Amino acid sequence: MARSPLVLLFLTVAGYQAGRWIRTRTGGHALAQPVLVAIAVVGTAITVLDVDYADYRGATELVAFWLGPATVALAVPLHRQTDRLKGFVVPMLVALVLGAVTSIVTAVLIARALGADEALQKTLAPKAATTPVAIAVVDALGGIAPLVAVFTIGIGIVGAVIGPALLNLLHIRDRRARGLAMGAVSHGVGASRMLREDETEGAFAGLAMGLTALITSLLVPLLALVLF
């Protein structure tokens, strides 16, 4: 009974709701990320119950399915901000392409300098993309697909925690630039946080998330010819 799909689904939703409650109770503290709390709750539960990840994934397929529509829904606030795209498209695309190139190259070179093997280097290369895109790219490259999911989710959480404070420290006030930076680095977790803080930041974070995933999926195979 404890391992039934219904129980596993309940634990997932309950973990996320607990994270939202903690975030509210702490006044939106940076560390109180619902995704982080949900991971801790679910990770502990499936370890204690000795549930195989494949079984857990199957039980929560309904939640995973709605990630697609939720991502598409980020286009709604962007549509409301279309007037703010004027004169910003070219700088935005240049910044995202350069950011993606930097992310890919530095990840590979740092991993290589630290003694990581080629498979791990390939796994780290698409970390700036969303998890589904990163997994597809790593599969094509011959990296470690389950591990890239850990990297992308972890980077998304870390970025959501420290990103806004870092942007404030650097005196970056333009809401479009703040949203682009968070979406390009922190994916859905970062976009979600920025949307709570400001609609413009959230809209541009969602746009950056989608464009960075597309750009990364195109650049990684090309840069791999040089890097590996």
Cα–Cα separations (whole angstroms), residue 207 to 76, 78, 142, 217: 11, 7, 29, 16
Quick one: pLDDT at residue 42? 86
Name every residue whose Cβ is closer than 8 Å to that of residue 166 and which is 6 or more positions away in sequence.
none
Domain residue extents for the chain: 1-65, 75-227
Rounded CA gap, 201 and 81, in Å? 10
Instruction: Name the 3-class secondary structure at 228.
Output: coil
For residue 1, the model assigns a pLDDT of 56
Q: Residue 216 in contact with residue 100, Cβ under 8 Å? A: yes
| pLDDT reported for residue 97 | 94
> How much is the pLDDT for 168?
92
Torsion of CA 85, 216, 205, 154, to 10 degrees: -170
Q: What is the pLDDT of residue 78?
A: 67
> Nearest 5°: CA angle at 211, between 207 and 212?
115
Low-confidence stretches of the chain (pLDDT < 70) are 1-3, 71, 74-75, 78
pLDDT at position 98 is 94
d(CA 106, CA 176): 25
CA angle 175, 71, 80 (to 5 degrees): 45
What is the residue whose two structure tokens read 């204690």? Answer: 48
Supply the pLDDT for residue 37. Answer: 85
Q: Are 166 and 140 in contact (CB under 8 A)?
A: no
Looking up tokens 């890919």 gives: 104
Please give the pLDDT value at position 82.
Answer: 75
**pLDDT value, residue 190:** 82
Give the model confidence (pLDDT) of 168-212 as tens digits: 999 999 898 999 999 998 887 888 888 888 888 888 888 888 889
Q: How far apart are CA 102 and CA 106, in angstroms?
A: 6
